[in-house]
């Protein structure tokens, strides 16, 4: 009996955190569950977080246990503060979901940081608008009203409520249930807690982005966690922005010859070299580029890789004058458009991906924060588009409008950067249906090992490649009568059921083997010279032809661009310029900062030869 008495006392103690904070626990549990359901995407396979209810119990029990050790007088104010904080964050989270189809994320927080007082007032006024009240936000507002009603009704003398006092004889049983749910919740939540700790331990925006590519990454299942993560990501971005702003202020250009009056850089998206007809693919995906190649003016390079298979990482390495292997980080160096602006070039950036927008995922936030920061954007670009488009052809219309309005003068000195959405997933949406050339049936003989569904996906991807062919051709057409040079490079490769790997998109595994390097890091890369440019600059055209088989990694692209512009600066290094006779072709090409691409290839070729 004595043992049972001790056990009963222990179980009563275990129920104390909930009993002492019953109203808080109940309504915060309802709030967490309600937020999960009101931010569930309206898609066929959308599901709430599978461990929602157990992990929410575990987290709230711990929070109530902490509240229990706080003196009652202080605890009251702490709970009030938590009520306000958690409800406000929940309202903002669901509001963002209703209006932007996205819950709280770093991009939204960055936009909030740039919001002025008038815009903030407009936001608050929308919270009481009828449309919003009758949206999913209204459920949160209703819960707040009920919470207040239940909390204060017993204190109003005119209302007499039935005696709902807790019967203490049930306390041991409630304590036992609490212990079981707490242990069950802790065990089932352990992996997510470890993943969350890993996510929040990243030392850069790139680190946390890469962590989110892992299959077992953290699930930030309630609004307050999403807010904390967004604040953390913004703080990391802010540190790198500060370094970049300092670098921008120290940019120096000694002289500029404007060697190439019009330089055009086209950055594609998710383009695997394996799917380019120009590089031997069995489907006619690049007929226009091949036609220009046959003219002798488009020179494809045969041995080009990217340093990362993530867009944001590639952008940081390509835009920064930092080259992998040099000391410091990418953000310790100037961005190449800053040097072009300093030299007197008119710099235009037309992107179909990296614009400030609330729906931007962490990946777009990571790749775009240094482009969209107001100070850095001003330092880099004279002209930017302000809308994203479904198809890249509309990006060309933006360019045409800038020319028509006189903002871009073709006869001036211009650096024009096109950043296409290209073949970014979802492949089906990257080509207008009216321009589909390939269908699942097109691959029955060529890829019989694939399922009908896989062939359909493959056809979508190849249609996106051939549509991309039309876009880059149209860009070249806009400059073919000018003294212009056009460089094309995708940000990274892409897999689409290569060699029975049964895989599409990219594998972000830390371990890079030869197939991964081959399909996801090798890219098509070419330089097109207009007839006038080839005639006016025969020495550069000759250098391009001579360099076409050299080993190259795109982190060194800015040095070639500076050379083409004739920009003399301490930031230019001739050994990284692929067109120079002093180019260091044997520089190690390190993928993801860990793996030597050429050693992987050499080992593969050696093994292949043995077989």
* 193-222 tens-digit pLDDT: 999 998 888 877 777 777 777 778 889 999
Q: What percent of the chain has a predicted confidence (pLDDT) above 70?
A: 90
Which of 99-113, 325-339, 476-490, 505-519 is least confident?
99-113
Q: Tell whether 235 is covered by a domain.
A: no
* 540-550 tens-digit pLDDT: 999 999 999 99
Q: Tell whether 238 is covered by a domain.
A: no
> Which of 212, 242, 274 is the last residue before a domain boundary?
212
Q: Are residues 521 and 417 in the same domain?
A: yes
Tell me, what's the pLDDT at 306? 96
Q: Tell whether 58 is covered by a domain.
A: yes
pLDDT over threshold 80, residue 133: no
| Number of structural domains found in the chain | 2
Q: Tell whether 239 is covered by a domain.
A: no
Q: Which two tokens stand for residue 448?
A: 């019989």
Q: Are residues 264 and 207 in the same domain?
A: no
Radius of gyration of the chain (CA): 29
How far is the C-alpha of 272 from the C-alpha of 495, rounded, in Å? 7
Q: Are residues 345 and 267 in the same domain?
A: yes
Q: Are residues 188 and 304 in the same domain?
A: no
Q: Which residue has the higher pLDDT, 27 or 164?
A: 27
pTM value is 0.81
The strand pair at 525-529 and 484-490 is best described as antiparallel
User: What CATH number does residue 422 fall under?
Assistant: 3.40.720.10
pLDDT band at 164 (very low <50, low <70, confident <90, very high): low
Q: Tell whether 232 is covered by a domain.
A: no
Per-chain mean pLDDT for the chain = 88
Q: Are residues 272 and 188 in the same domain?
A: no
How far is the C-alpha of 597 from the C-alpha of 513, rounded, in Å? 9
Q: Are residues 468 and 571 in the same domain?
A: yes
pLDDT band at 503 (very low <50, low <70, confident <90, very high): confident
Which of 117-121, 258-262, 407-411, 455-459 is least confident?
117-121
pLDDT band at 268 (very low <50, low <70, confident <90, very high): very high
Q: Are residues 189 and 265 in the same domain?
A: no
Q: Which residue has the higher pLDDT, 156 or 548?
A: 548
The DSSP output letter for 587 is S
pLDDT band at 192 (very low <50, low <70, confident <90, very high): very high
Q: Can you say how many angstroms the Cα of residue 35 is from the centroid of all Cα atoms in its chain? A: 24
pLDDT over threshold 90, residue 480: yes
Q: Tell whether 240 is covered by a domain.
A: no
Q: Are residues 554 and 411 in the same domain?
A: yes
**Intra-chain end-to-end CA distance of the chain, in Å:** 78
Q: Are residues 173 and 295 in the same domain?
A: no
User: 584 is in which domain, residue-wise?
Assistant: 257-610
Q: Are residues 282 and 155 in the same domain?
A: no
Q: Tell whether 221 is covered by a domain.
A: no
Q: Are residues 492 and 578 in the same domain?
A: yes
* 216-240 tens-digit pLDDT: 888 999 999 999 988 888 788 788 8
* 432-449 tens-digit pLDDT: 999 999 999 999 999 999
* 51-86 tens-digit pLDDT: 999 999 999 999 999 999 999 889 999 999 999 999
> Which of 187, 212, 237 is the last residue before a domain boundary?
212
Q: Tell whether 229 is covered by a domain.
A: no
In the sheet that holds 298-301, the strands lie side by side as: 298-301, 525-529, 484-490, 262-268, 414-419, 346-351, 383-384
Tell me, what's the pLDDT at 116? 45
> Which of 181, 196, 212 is the last residue before a domain boundary?
212
Q: Are residues 204 and 309 in the same domain?
A: no
Phi, psi of 565 (to 5 degrees): -80, -20
């Amino acid at each position: 009996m004595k043992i049972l008495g001790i056990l009963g006392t222990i179980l009563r103690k275990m129920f104390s955190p909930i009993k002492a904070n019953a109203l808080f626990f109940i309504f915060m549990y309802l709030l967490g569950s309600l937020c999960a359901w009101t931010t569930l995407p309206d898609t066929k396979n959308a599901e709430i977080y599978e461990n929602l209810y157990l992990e929410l119990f575990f987290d709230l029990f711990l929070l109530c246990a902490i509240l229990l050790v706080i003196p009652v007088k202080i605890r009251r104010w702490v709970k009030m503060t938590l009520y306000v904080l958690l409800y406000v964050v929940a309202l903002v989270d669901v509001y963002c979901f209703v209006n932007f189809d996205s819950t709280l994320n770093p991009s939204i927080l960055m936009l909030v940081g740039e919001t002025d007082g008038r815009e903030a007032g407009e936001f608050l006024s929308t919270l009481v608008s009828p449309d919003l009240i009758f949206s999913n936000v209204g459920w949160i507002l209703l819960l707040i009203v009920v919470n207040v009603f239940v909390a204060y009704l017993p204190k109003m003398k005119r209302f007499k409520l039935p005696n709902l006092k807790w019967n203490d004889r049930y306390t041991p049983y409630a304590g036992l249930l609490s212990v079981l749910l707490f242990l069950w919740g802790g065990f089932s939540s352990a992996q997510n807690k470890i993943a969350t700790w890993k996510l929040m331990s990243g030392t850069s925006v790139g680190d946390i982005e890469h962590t989110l590519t892992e299959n077992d990454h953290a699930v930030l299942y309630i609004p307050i966690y999403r807010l904390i993560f967004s604040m953390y990501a913004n703080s990391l971005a802010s540190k790198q922005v500060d370094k970049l702003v300092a670098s921008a202020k120290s940019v120096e250009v000694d002289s500029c010859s404007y060697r190439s009056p019009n330089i055009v850089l086209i950055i594609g998206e998710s383009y695997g070299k394996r799917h380019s007809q120009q590089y031997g693919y069995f489907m006619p995906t690049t007929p226009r580029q091949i036609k220009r190649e046959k003219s002798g003016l488009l020179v494809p390079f045969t041995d080009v890789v990217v340093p990362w298979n993530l867009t944001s990482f590639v952008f940081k390495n390509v835009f920064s004058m930092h080259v992998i292997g040099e000391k410091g980080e990418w953000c310790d160096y100037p961005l190449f458009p800053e040097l072009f602006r300093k030299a007197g070039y008119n710099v235009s950036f037309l992107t179909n991906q990296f614009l400030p927008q609330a729906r931007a995922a962490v990946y777009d936030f990571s790749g775009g924060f240094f482009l969209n920061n107001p100070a850095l954007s001003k330092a880099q670009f004279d002209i930017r588009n302000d809308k994203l488009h479904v198809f890249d052809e509309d990006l060309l219309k933006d360019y045409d409008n800038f020319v028509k309005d006189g903002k871009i003068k073709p006869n001036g000195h211009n650096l024009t950067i096109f950043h296409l959405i290209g073949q970014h997933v979802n492949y089906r949406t990257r080509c207008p249906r009216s321009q589909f050339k390939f269908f699942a049936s097109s691959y029955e003989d060529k890829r019989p090992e694939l399922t009908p569904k896989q062939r359909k996906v493959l056809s979508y991807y190849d249609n996106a490649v051939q549509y991309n062919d039309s876009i880059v051709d149209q860009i070249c057409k806009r400059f073919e009568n000018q003294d212009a040079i056009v460089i094309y490079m995708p940000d990274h490769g892409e897999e689409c059921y290569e060699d029975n790997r049964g895989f599409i998109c990219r594998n972000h595994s830390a371990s890079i083997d030869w197939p991964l390097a081959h399909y996801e890091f090798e890219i098509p890369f070419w330089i097109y010279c207009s007839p006038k440019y080839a005639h006016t600059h025969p020495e550069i055209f000759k250098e391009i032809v001579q360099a076409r088989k050299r080993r190259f990694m795109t982190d060194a692209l800015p040095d070639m661009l500076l050379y083409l512009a004739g920009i003399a600066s301490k930031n230019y290094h001739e050994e990284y310029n692929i067109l120079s006779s002093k180019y260091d072709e044997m520089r190690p090409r390190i993928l993801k900062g860990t793996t030597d691409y050429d050693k992987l290839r050499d080992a593969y070729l050696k093994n292949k030869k043995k077989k």
